[in-house]
Amino acid sequence: MQKLIGIYGASGFGREVLPLVREKYVDAQLCFVDDSSQESEINGYSIYNYKEYLALPNTDKSVVFAIADSKVREVLETKCSQDNLVILSVKASNSVVLDNVEIGEGAILCHFTHLTSNIKIGKQFHANIHSYIAHDCIIGDYVTFAPQAGCNGNVHIHDHAYIGAGAIIKQGSPEKPLIIGKGAVVGMGAVVTKDVPAGAVVVGNPAKPLYKA
């Protein structure tokens, strides 16, 4: 029976990711998996909730997580693994990956993304359109780069960090890499010139902590 791939998430990012999956897995049947959608199909592809997806007769089922919230991705990863679903990675045809780049399971590299050399990336990484990571960076699990986010060399980004659209992270050094802490959020258009503590939200140029009034 034909291979079935479910794009988990039928929102905007899911609709962007499905064509990447279609390009790579030309012989597979595709659908969306979404537990909150009120629609039965979108862009010509069926939408199932998770229980419905599991019940489909295909024996070769896989998923791609097109979910922006990194904590939700982690929960879904655990659930799908327990149900023996294969978790796929997807790379756009014009995404550039150079030498000695390690990428964990479940990554999505969208169009015009660049990973240069000597980079280590954990699982469930999302790199949106026109984002890049330069040399000698270490990226944790469940990290998200929004469109046009840029990370220069010798930067360490810890688990669940989110780098907003158009943000730029200054280059560190081999002796003192710049650190983005676990769960930190770098706001849209921010210019990060120094370490960001775990859980912090930074905005502006240069990036500074965002405080509630």
- Give 54-101 pLDDT, tens digit per residue: 999 988 999 999 999 999 999 999 999 999 999 999 999 999 999 999
CB 114 within 8 A of CB 96: yes
CB 67 within 8 A of CB 76: yes
* Amino acid type, 149: A
CB 188 within 8 A of CB 146: yes
Residue 84 sits in the same domain as residue 95: no
Tens digits of residue pLDDT in 9-39:
999 999 999 999 999 999 999 999 999 988 9
Q: Is 135 a catalytic residue?
A: yes
**Number of structural domains found in the chain:** 2
Catalytic residue among 135, 156, 158, 160: 135
Per-residue confidence at 48, pLDDT binned at 50, 70, 90? Answer: very high
Residue 114 sits in the same domain as residue 172: yes
CB 35 within 8 A of CB 63: no
Q: Quick one: pLDDT at residue 213? A: 40
* Containing structural domain, residue 129: 91-202
Q: What is the dihedral of CA 1, 36, 74, 120, to 10 degrees?
A: 70
Per-residue confidence at 211, pLDDT binned at 50, 70, 90? Answer: low
d(CA 89, CA 104): 9
Q: Which of 88, 105, 135 is the last residue of a domain?
A: 88
Tens digits of residue pLDDT in 134-189:
999 999 999 999 999 999 999 999 999 999 999 999 999 999 999 999 999 999 99
Q: Quick one: pLDDT at residue 37? A: 87
How many CB atoms sit inside 10 A of residue 195's CB?
16
Residue 132 sits in the same domain as residue 156: yes
Closest CA to 137 of 157, 122, 162, 123: 157
Q: Which of 46, 61, 88 is the last residue of a domain?
A: 88
